Amino acid sequence: ELKIVIIGAGSSYTPELIEGLINRAAELPLRELWMVDIEEGREKMAIIANLARRMLNKAGLSVTVHETLNRREALAGADYVCSQFRAGCLNARISDERISLKYGMIGQETNGLGGFANACRTIPIALEIAREMETLCPDAWLLNFTNPSGMVTEAILRHSSIKAVGLCNVPVIMQKGVSQLLGNSADFIMQVAGLNHFIFARQILQNGKDKLHDVIDEILAGNDPLVPRNIPPFSWPAHVLKGLGMIPCAYLRYYYMKDDILKQEIGEAGGEGTRGEVVKALEHQLFEIYKNPDLAEKPKALEGRGGQYYSEAACELMSAIHNDKRIIMHVNTRNNGAINGLPDDCAVEVSSVITRSGPLPLNVAAFPEDTLRLLQLMKNFEQLTIEAAITGDRHTAWRALVLNPLITSGTLLEEALAEVLEENKALMPSF
């Protein structure tokens, strides 16, 4: 029987995770659930823990739900650890968004200057957790959704010996969207490859045929269910999808339609607010709903969040590892040659066969040279960012930042970076 730990349990997404565990009670025999948060999230965690208890009770499962601020106590003897914390909480996200916009850059949680700042806050904590796991639960699997998920996973794979897999709901949403476009079929294989929030669907196999181009036609006909809720609806220019011959995930819009999205973000920031601000309001509503002592299920309102369906990935991944299912899932893991042209030992987000021994990434057809160059550039950005987050070296930070196509350079960058470092003084290594 399993001991599962959730770090950042005060997340409004947690009820989805609980629902996923309940739905899989037969495959994942759960004994104890340990919820971990920090002082700032204590109250949210208490609301979540009580809702979780009601949900588990209703499902007739006798699982003990513990709440603690003591991470080590939770990690001792754990089997699976789900990491879903937000370093600096929502206020740090909003600060990243606002500073970026102030200096004329896209303001986003995982991309551009915001992604860099988020990584610098998060990676030192993620590595602390990994180090604790090395001694307290060396056999446990770490399932990481903590953003920036790709960089966090790469940092852990590179700097610790624990078993770790990184996750994102974007490929899950793409898989569901493609299924819808194929007439609600479950009988197809989608292969994705790239980096987290930088993936492409490369093949959609059904009945011996590649349906990728049929799916592209559907998308171009105005039917695009592949976009998560946090990214405003948009259409790809026809030549982009046809010319690429791949389906870029919605996050690639930040790179392929940079100015369009910046204009949109500036409009939103002056209106309903940045995404972080919108999420803050949404989260407030969600917790009001969660508090209701009669509620014993995941409320519909959670679907307003961009991370919807990630329990699908999390719980299914746990079960696939635990039961050696050998099914294909899309995860962040060591490249090992899957993407030609990226280092074997770097983290990539690729369709993989999930086994008890870990994910086995599937080889993917060579990327066109120009797309490969972008992937290499972004991997280089990620690796320099990780180095900066660990060492606090200002020049390394600069090298990372000037490489990123969403980030400006020169005086503007120096000023923006100074402001980011000032705002995050208590949350980052000292640069």
Catalytic positions are 251
Contacted by 407, from Mn ion, ligand G6P, ligand NAD, none: CB < 5 to 8 Å by type: Mn ion
* Minimum distance of ligand G6P from residue 36's CB (angstroms): 19
Q: Which residue, 16 or 387, is less far from ligand NAD as judged by CB? A: 16
- 3-class secondary structure for the chain? CEEEEEECCCCCCHHHHHHHHHHCCCCCCEEEEEEECCHHHHHHHHHHHHHHHHHHHHCCCCCEEEEECCHHHHHCCCCEEEECCCCCHHHHHHHHHHHHHHCCCCCCCCCHHHHHHHHHHHHHHHHHHHHHHHHHCCCCEEEECCCCHHHHHHHHHHHCCCEEEECCCHHHHHHHHHHHHCCCCCCCEEEEEEECCEEEEEEEEECCEECHHHHHHHHHCCCCCCCCCCCCCCCCCHHHHHHHCCEECHHHHHHHCHHHHHHHHHHHHHCCCCHHHHHHHHHHHHHHHHHCCCCCCCCHHHHHCCCCCHHHHHHHHHHHHHCCCCEEEEEEEECCCCCCCCCCCCEEEEEEEEECCEEEECCCCCCCHHHHHHHHHHHHHHHHHHHHHHHCCHHHHHHHHHHCCCCCCHHHHHHHHHHHHHHCCCCCCCC
* Minimum distance of ligand G6P from residue 180's CB (angstroms): 17
Contacted by 302, from ligand G6P, Mn ion, ligand NAD, none: CB < 5 to 8 Å by type: none
* Minimum distance of ligand NAD from residue 19's CB (angstroms): 15
Q: Which residue, 169 or 182, is less far from Mn ion as judged by CB? A: 169
Is 149 a binding residue for ligand NAD by CB under 6 A? The answer is: yes
Q: Which residue, 13 or 431, is less far from ligand G6P as judged by CB? A: 13
* Minimum distance of ligand G6P from residue 63's CB (angstroms): 27
Only one of the segments 53-61, 163-171, 364-372, 415-423 lies at the binding site for ligand NAD (rule: CB under 6 A); that segment is 163-171
Contacted by 275, from ligand NAD, ligand G6P, Mn ion, none: CB < 5 to 8 Å by type: ligand G6P
Q: Which of 20, 41, 34, 7 shows the shortest CA–CA distance to 283?
A: 41
* Interface residues toward ligand G6P, by CB under 6 A: 147, 168-170, 228, 230, 275, 279, 305-307
Q: Are 103 and 27 in contact (CB under 8 A)?
A: no
Is 374 a binding residue for ligand NAD by CB under 6 A? The answer is: no
Q: Which residues of 217-235 are buried (b: 16+ CB within 10 A; e: fewer)?
A: ebbbeeebebbbebbeeee
Contacted by 179, from ligand G6P, ligand NAD, Mn ion, none: CB < 5 to 8 Å by type: none
* Minimum distance of ligand NAD from residue 217's CB (angstroms): 28
Q: Which residue, 12 or 424, is less far from ligand NAD as judged by CB? A: 12
Is 107 a binding residue for ligand NAD by CB under 6 A? The answer is: no
* Minimum distance of ligand NAD from residue 129's CB (angstroms): 8
Site for ligand NAD in 305-364 (CB under 6 A): 307, 310
* Minimum distance of ligand G6P from residue 138's CB (angstroms): 28
Contacted by 228, from ligand G6P, ligand NAD, Mn ion, none: CB < 5 to 8 Å by type: ligand G6P
Is 146 a binding residue for ligand NAD by CB under 6 A? The answer is: yes
Contacted by 8, from ligand G6P, ligand NAD, Mn ion, none: CB < 5 to 8 Å by type: ligand NAD
Is 163 a binding residue for ligand NAD by CB under 6 A? The answer is: no
Q: Are 236 and 248 in contact (CB under 8 A)?
A: yes
Contacting ligand NAD (CB under 6 A), which of 4, 5, 7, 362?
Answer: 7
Is 408 a binding residue for ligand NAD by CB under 6 A? The answer is: no
Residues of the shown chain interacting with ligand NAD in the complex, contacts defined by CB under 6 A: 7-8, 10-13, 36-38, 40-41, 44, 84-87, 89-90, 109, 125, 145-147, 149, 167-169, 307, 310
